[in-house]
Structure 1
């Protein structure tokens, strides 16, 4: 707050005239007041115009599988509109909905009659059938990114750990780097690379962070796409570089790029690769070369790409073996030649030298 108060405010030009915006609640005239403070929903009217022109909000409300039988029940548009406004305000609890009850402008912009209470919203979401509600949300989530799938794009797989406090469904103790031993949820998300547009996300228990728990959702996302919408590449970290996930990609003839864990066989492959001189320039300071490897549990040998680049921060890498520190020299030339060069440099007093130390990544 202190930084915001001290930050100079940019004045609104006097030439800015009132704007007429078509929203879900009708036509609204927007004018700028340079003497008033900004509100959290100051730009809501322009977002409502987008929802009106695209028809996304009306279709989302109309296809929601929420059915009321009581004549005293709130309107479905009021329930979903309250939920939408609460998310836009950054709320994380149902109790925060109460802060919207005094807002009389935002509901009208979205074509709502009122803001429902937090209890009404909680009961309404509980009445939506899980299977139908999941399909409803996935359909409209993909509709918002479908237009971007007709150009070459990369599908990223990411697993996020959300720490939980209190008693929540699916809260289990598992891998939690932030708070070890604390129950959590695992969010398996499938993103459109660079654009960071979400295709789907699956919330599972905290002890289901492995790639085999994210694979069903990945298969579902790929199977829902047509041939023209398929990603150019599926990308994941070393947790997805196993035979089960790779075979699913090969069955669908889907290109993929997964990192490999540095198992003993991978390390031996790296050692052999560093003694070769047929490295190619991969751009941005990287060198690369191709090879093949068949790890334990793989049904066939597969192509791998090895990348390396020059490190400037470390002069000499050391490793401890049986309580004794040893120099670990890595270079594209042979190790004997490097040791001889370093020995010559160490004999020169007050001289500066650099160790050619390469970092390798296999994928």
Structure 2
């Protein structure tokens, strides 16, 4: 897959959707995802119709248009709400908005707000007044969201599947805030694309290295870099021997030392068997160790050769 950087005013899904369908077209059908998920920018007629045409389920969030709000109001009065996990309740209905080619399943989620609210009254433009609304048993306030989906799952599974979308988006948040993806701007789109690809490549390599150190969890750069990078070293030579002394100021210095020794031993073993392995096989040995949490000890196998993009 090729990383593509678009102009700053081309952030809507209509600009990114073509890349998604191009990627799926290159993959064997057996390797397609269970469904595609997206925020409210993806909940459009064009995206849903294309997903239905391709035969892949979808789960999108809807914008709060007037008709969507009317649907929420109706369900708040009349619906039987069921548990949707993590404090949320859910109800479903059939919805057809203006511009849609057909009616589709909609799932409304709500969660009660229990804390007191701070309300800014802006009726007087000369002075903002901050008031505090105390919530009692007689005053119930909900936050809510509306999803549209073609999945047949029950409400609890649909709600959890959408919440899991946040985990999939965390790497992009990390790339922007911790690795500088959002920190360079130039009128030269070619330079932007070049730097974005360098950043993504560096992020991938560092994430795999950190996974070799701790395969049980994903550690963000804000903690992994001070832990595994900030260690001054001193090189000394005496009596024909060369010694590298590392002084690690981190409180977890003992864990870092043990981990680095394990990684060194793994690479030494891999190097001894390197002559028997192809470069691709060596790469998959590395990935199998880094992703052992998900593979449960299994060895990754190279996928079928994908056709070159047209």
TM-score by length of 2: 0.41
The structure showing larger relative contact order (alpha-carbon pairs under 8 Å, at least 6 residues apart) is 2
Computing the radius of gyration from Cα coordinates, the structure with the larger value is 1
TM-score by length of 1: 0.35
Q: Structure 1 or 2: larger helix share?
A: 2
